[in-house]
Chain A
Amino acid sequence: MTLLRLAAQGLYCEAGDFYIDPWQGVERAVITHAHGDHARWGSARYLCSREGESVLRTRLGPSATIRAVNWGEAVDVNGVRVSLHPAGHILGSAQIRVEYRGEVWVASGDYKTDPDPTCTPFELVRCDTFITESTFGLPVYRWTPDAEVFDDIQRWWRANREHGRTSVLFGYALGKAQRLLAGLADADIGPVYTHGAVERLNRDYRRGGVRLAETQYASGMPARHDFAGSLVVAPPSAAGSTWMRRFGQISTGFASGWMRVRGMRRRRAIDRGFVLSDHVDWPSLLAAVEATGAGRVWVTHGTREPLVRWLTERGIEARAIASQWKGEEDTDPVEVAGEEISA
């Protein structure tokens, strides 16, 4: 019996009788981060990072029983030592370190190692077994530095303003939208409007001390307000909705790691793709796995088989795990966190 194993409801620690990011309601759930595929309703008690408490609360509602812990603070769960360490994915995202009888496992949830002003940077945690995502587990996925991406976004926005168009930038409502707004905090091109799903989470970020561009709630503007030249940040699910009609002539952009591939952008009928991801790219993924020193690696959601083969060929015991986590979905533009919050 391994320390963690895949059970019907999710990743389970039998010794401590708790789940990590279960996809069904359980007694005790340790949550890596507040995205909908990782933080689901229905569990009796939740454990999360202090940094992530407010966004998890926004997501689960006032009645959920949530206990928050500081980074690295050890919690004893039925004799198993559990601690949370920053994963660098979104505000409050954590890797879960589980230690029992000298054996250490780390479930990383979603993570990235590149710097991001909206959350505490990824912390390397050494372990025997590392559970990694592989949303972008192919060497074609290699990110460009943030600064270049934000320059591109600003150039696009400015050109649209010159043509009297509204720039509508899609990004997941929790995490990506705030990273965009943080990256544009000093851009002085025009007013920035947001979709309701984004605005609600902006409050949590600002409360957590993250500096974002000044925003206004688009639906709060008077009828016939002229949006020309402004920037609108909205979840991808808003694309093609009637909510979009108010913006007149638009150019659409989408900020996602998937935009590295031209076909992905064209399939979505998006004008501009900006390669900005909250997940590790291939080189960072390999570097992270190696740095943990883990001899065993479990690979969850994403393009799993190539990574498993790559690691196996390098002497690491790797296997793919069938989780219900999705990472950055490419097949369904519905943003998990923002979806339930009405616009």
Chain B
Amino acid sequence: MKAFARAYAAIDETMRTNEKVQAMVEYFKVAEPADAAWAVYFLSGGRPKRLIPVRRLAAWAMEEANVPEWLFAECYDAVGDLAETMSLLLPDASSTVDVPLHRWISERLLPLATQSESEQRASVVKSWRELGGAERFIWNKLITGGFRIGVSQQLVVRALSQVTGVAEGVIAHRLSGTWLPEPRSFVALSAAETEDADVSRPYPFFLAYALEEEVDALGAPDEWQAEWKWDGIRAQVIRRDGRTFIWTRGEELVTDRYPEIAAAADFLPDGTVLDGEIMPWKEGRALPFAQLQRRIGRKSLGGSILSEVPVVLIAYDLLEREGRDVRAEPLARRRELLEGTISAARTTVFVPSPRVAFASWDEARAMYARSREELAEGLMLKRHDSAYGVGRRKGGWWKWKVQPFTVDAVMIYAQAGHGRRASLHTDYTFAVWDDGALVPFAKAYSGLTDKEIRELDRWIRANTVEKFGPVRHVKPVHVFELGFEGIQPSPRHKSGVAVRFPRILRWRTDKRPEDADTLATLRGLMSDAGVIPSEAPKALVIPSGGPKGRSRGIALLPEEGGHPESPGEGSSLSRPRALSRDDEDPSLRSG
């Protein structure tokens, strides 16, 4: 554990990507495979299923530290991280032992899942008393999940590639799917042989950057293919050895969730991997994303939901054909193979992503302007000669997204941020007018410059009307233009609407609070988006670990717009989410 704590500190204490990678390289070089396997798992964002409710964990820490709850809450507010708050408050360790990381995990961490509350408590408290400051922090992080030290799976892959001499793409492939943190899995990462046995393994998704320049800068229009950018769930459908696997971009195995697609995959030849978007689709047209959300998170899919919200795979690409990796072939060739494969399967569930014809960039712009009518988020532009790469690369693929919905709203609550932004108020709640009152409807975290954040922070401190724990109710003065990707009815919110991926676009210092928009405006947007308010779903579950995956277990106020935890499923270990969770950042959702 000490070696891992040192590696953690070395990664954490530099802001430079190369030095972070270097620190991982140093660790992987000397670590036992059993330890290294777990390090890979955790550094790439893997986390055990919630082992202990954080509220309970915090209560034990309060007792051990002899700190009352109100004072613990003040400390948490100042520190901004639960695992760290507990580490800082607990008394210094009485004895420090150095047990390897993998034994901490196999002997202490994983057993927590099946222990009674009193056994859990005894085990956790014993660990606290045995671990020094840095290791105790890591231990708490292991329990609560999520390191967040500026390391993505991509960086872990780079470090592993440097240590093993195996190409990054191969490492990334080997890590995807159901990679288990076992010594032999770690050793297998460095194997020279690249024909890996795991039939379920997806390829790393190729992602596009957002187009920021004028589209004309891309050169000759005839070198490019355009498709609608669909707002569904990006997924790979794998057919190998007579078995089917459906993986999402969040690297979740969802084969059972989409029985229509799984059934159709029986008609694909062995050794086929399709990349596409799972879309709610009826009578040749897309349904709004909100409809798909009715299916997500349901434990059982009854017959009615399957007929109300059928799905298809809008297929973008073919990655594997007849067992051969064809990602390096040019897009034009892959497209040809894709169409051939799908037509041979004779199914309507796989739909080659419709290509949008255009002869000039002006025509492309005209099509782009129609995106909302098609229920698309814009266009994807891909060079005909582009390979299917790994991760996010510039050049061959671009996403050209339509502007989000926007409203002007008034800030009414503020809360300090977390991690880097603890002690600055960076989390804001916004409201719109309804019948002379301000109704909160969205929380947004990003979109302001550091300078604006500091300025607003000073204003917030000076204009607090009331404090509820860490939440400050501020004077309704400042108007912000918020952008969001989608809107739908929600009985869980006071406003009756839920918006997707809200973010601050601009601080409207030119507007007075009375100039802000109204709830009626939001309802109007909802009907524009094809969601009819009266058809509110009974229970809306947004698949997510909460905003930014925060372990905000002891928040003193219910969070407006907070998301419920996704229901657990499958094994006690969930997949690393390092290539970003779908809910974290709208720009990562698709494409």
Contacts of A266 in B (CB 8 A): 419-420
Q: Is the CB of A142 closer than 8 A to any CB of chain B? A: yes
Number of A-B contacts (CB under 8 A): 65
- CB pair B421 A261 closer than 8 Å: no
Contacts of A269 in B (CB 8 A): 15
- CB pair B420 A263 closer than 8 Å: yes
Smallest Cβ distance from A317 to chain B, in angstroms? 20
Q: Is the CB of A260 closer than 8 A to any CB of chain B? A: yes
Contacts of A264 in B (CB 8 A): 422-423
Instruction: Give the nearest-CB partner of B421 in chain A.
Output: A267
A261 touches which of B13, B14, B422 (Cβ 8 Å) = B422
Contacts of B457 in A (CB 8 A): 331
Q: Which B residues from 47 to 78 make CB contacts under 8 A with A? A: 65, 67, 70-71, 74-75, 78
- CB pair B13 A306 closer than 8 Å: no
B75 touches which of A138, A263, A272 (Cβ 8 Å) = A138
Given known A262-B81, A330-B423, contact A139–B15 (CB-CB < 8 A): no
The segment out of B84-92, B282-290, B518-526, B545-553 that lies at the interface is B84-92
- CB pair B421 A263 closer than 8 Å: yes
Instruction: Give the nearest-CB partner of B9 in chain A.
Output: A272
Contacts of A310 in B (CB 8 A): 71
Bound together, the chains give a CA A330 to CA B423 distance in angstroms of 9
Instruction: Give the nearest-CB partner of B70 in chain A.
Output: A309
B13 touches which of A140, A271, A305, A309 (Cβ 8 Å) = A271
Bound together, the chains give a CA A242 to CA B431 distance in angstroms of 43
Q: Is the CB of B227 closer than 8 A to any CB of chain A? A: no
- CB pair B13 A142 closer than 8 Å: no
Instruction: Give the nearest-CB partner of A313 in chain B.
Output: B68
Bound together, the chains give a CA A266 to CA B14 distance in angstroms of 9
Interface residues on A, range: 20 to 34
Q: Is the CB of B280 closer than 8 A to any CB of chain A? A: no
Q: Is the CB of A303 closer than 8 A to any CB of chain B? A: yes
- CB pair A260 B74 closer than 8 Å: no
Q: Which A residues from 271 to 324 make CB contacts under 8 A with B? A: 271-272, 303, 305-306, 309-310
Smallest Cβ distance from B511 to chain A, in angstroms? 28
Given known A138-B74, A140-B78, contact A267–B15 (CB-CB < 8 A): no
Bound together, the chains give a CA A336 to CA B244 distance in angstroms of 67
Smallest Cβ distance from A111 to chain B, in angstroms? 21
Given known A261-B79, A263-B80, contact A140–B421 (CB-CB < 8 A): no
Contacts of A305 in B (CB 8 A): 74
Q: Which B residues from 457 to 507 make CB contacts under 8 A with A? A: 457
B65 touches which of A139, A251, A260, A261 (Cβ 8 Å) = A139
Bound together, the chains give a CA A260 to CA B78 distance in angstroms of 11
- CB pair A140 B88 closer than 8 Å: yes
Bound together, the chains give a CA A264 to CA B416 distance in angstroms of 13
Contacts of A331 in B (CB 8 A): 423, 454, 457
Q: Is the CB of B312 closer than 8 A to any CB of chain A? A: no
- CB pair B88 A263 closer than 8 Å: no
Contacts of B88 in A (CB 8 A): 140, 142, 260-261
- CB pair B67 A139 closer than 8 Å: yes
Contacts of B419 in A (CB 8 A): 262-263, 266
Q: Is the CB of B560 closer than 8 A to any CB of chain A? A: no
Bound together, the chains give a CA A169 to CA B89 distance in angstroms of 27
Bound together, the chains give a CA A272 to CA B81 distance in angstroms of 19
Smallest Cβ distance from A18 to chain B, in angstroms? 31
Bound together, the chains give a CA A251 to CA B13 distance in angstroms of 10
Q: Which A residues from 107 to 149 make CB contacts under 8 A with B? A: 138-140, 142
Please list 14 pairs of residues, one from A and one from B, whose beta carbons are closer than 8 Å in the complex, sorted by A's number: A138-B71, A138-B74, A139-B65, A140-B75, A140-B79, A140-B89, A142-B88, A251-B14, A261-B422, A263-B422, A263-B423, A267-B421, A303-B78, A309-B70
The residues of B with any CB-CB pair to A shorter than 8 Å are: 12-15, 65, 67, 70-71, 74-75, 78-81, 84-85, 88-89, 418-424, 454, 457
The residues of A with any CB-CB pair to B shorter than 8 Å are: 138-140, 142, 251, 260-264, 266-267, 269, 271-272, 303, 305-306, 309-310, 330-331
Query: 8 extra interchain contacts, Cβ-Cβ under 8 A, other than A139-B75, A140-B88, A261-B88?
Result: A140-B79, A261-B80, A263-B80, A263-B419, A263-B421, A263-B423, A267-B421, A330-B423
